[in-house]
Amino acid sequence: MRPLFLLAASALALSVGACGPKTPAVRAALDCPMREGDLTRTSASPDGKVCTYATSSGAEVTLQLVSTQGGVDSALTAIETNLLAGRVKPAEDAKGDAKDAAKGEAKDDKAAKPEDAKAASSDADKAAKEATADAEKPGVHIETKDGKTVVTTDGDTDADGNVRVNLPGIHVVANERDDSAQVSVGPIHIDAGGDGATIRMRRDVRLRGEALNPDRRGMRAMFIYKGDDLPDGYRVVGYEAGGPKSGPITVAVVKSKESFDGDDIYNDVKRLVRKNGGV
């Protein structure tokens, strides 16, 4: 029986060693299939570090290996900055009109009679009390109507018109005056307002084959920006990224001149990134 015990102990030691963390293999070239769902490959670099895809709707996807020598966050910030470069800023004359309107309102306020001011103050107090009485269940509902972000709320509103909702894992700040909202749900952060919206996600994950490893040595990240101020006629830009934090990571940059349902493209993009990133 003793040899049997020794054999079992040796096998157990080998299996434990095999499950231990290993240095992730450094990917030197991408695996770029000719087709991945609705994605069709249009080019591939000789060194295998960049390949491009197009969708049937004309969206452009660039799959690439990115170094994390300066840190993962630094690499992703550089990509995001490049995607948002060249956006059209609001016209200066619009700002001037707003200032003139504000001055005109200030003059009108000075010319108002004392009794008018008292009446306005009384109405404001009454409206505030009614709003507080109605706000029994705080909540925020965000939806898109006719291409614009619409925020409706039934919560407590502060002096700046902000409605705040704080629940475990969910944080919302919505402004009823300009229909803007900042929403955080776990690792996902959404900033919506007017005709634009930004979505970010960044979290640590386990690498493929390391399901039992307590250390999360991989990362996944996602960024999407939708707006009418992008250059060259684009409506949506973003990226999906994944891989070992030690690098290189696989990043798929997406650009589209047409609005689209993210699932139509990003499911295919995610499969490419996860396969090459090993997450």
What local confidence, expressed as pLDDT, does residue 100 receive?
Answer: 52
Name residue, tokens 């102990």.
9
Confidence of residue 222 (pLDDT cuts 50, 70, 90): very high
Distance CA 64, CA 47 (A): 11
Burial 150-167 (b: 16+ CB within 10 A, else e): ebebebebeeeebbebee
What is the rounded average pLDDT of the residues 27-44? 95
Question: Over the chain, what is the mean pLDDT?
Answer: 74
Q: Is the pLDDT reported for residue 255 higher than 90?
A: yes
What is the rounded average pLDDT of the residues 57-83? 95
What is the rounded average pLDDT of the residues 16-25? 55
Q: Is the pLDDT reported for residue 17 higher than 70?
A: no
Distance CA 206, CA 157 (A): 41
CATH 1.10.1740 assigned to 25-88+195-277: no
Residues of the chain with pLDDT > 70, as a percent, come to 56
Q: Is the pLDDT reported for residue 124 higher than 90?
A: no
Q: Are strands 188-193 and 180-185 parallel, antiparallel or unpaired?
A: antiparallel
Per the model's pLDDT, the better-predicted residue between 226 and 157 turns out to be 226
Residues of the chain with pLDDT > 90, as a percent, come to 41
Per the model's pLDDT, the better-predicted residue between 114 and 78 turns out to be 78
What is the rounded average pLDDT of the residues 87-92? 67
Every domain of the chain and the residues it spans = 25-88+195-277, 90-134
Query: How many angstroms from the chain centroid is the CA of residue 208?
Result: 24
pLDDT tens track for 152-187: 445 555 656 666 666 666 666 677 666 677 777 678
Lowest mean pLDDT among 24-38, 146-160, 198-212, 231-245: 146-160
Confidence of residue 258 (pLDDT cuts 50, 70, 90): confident
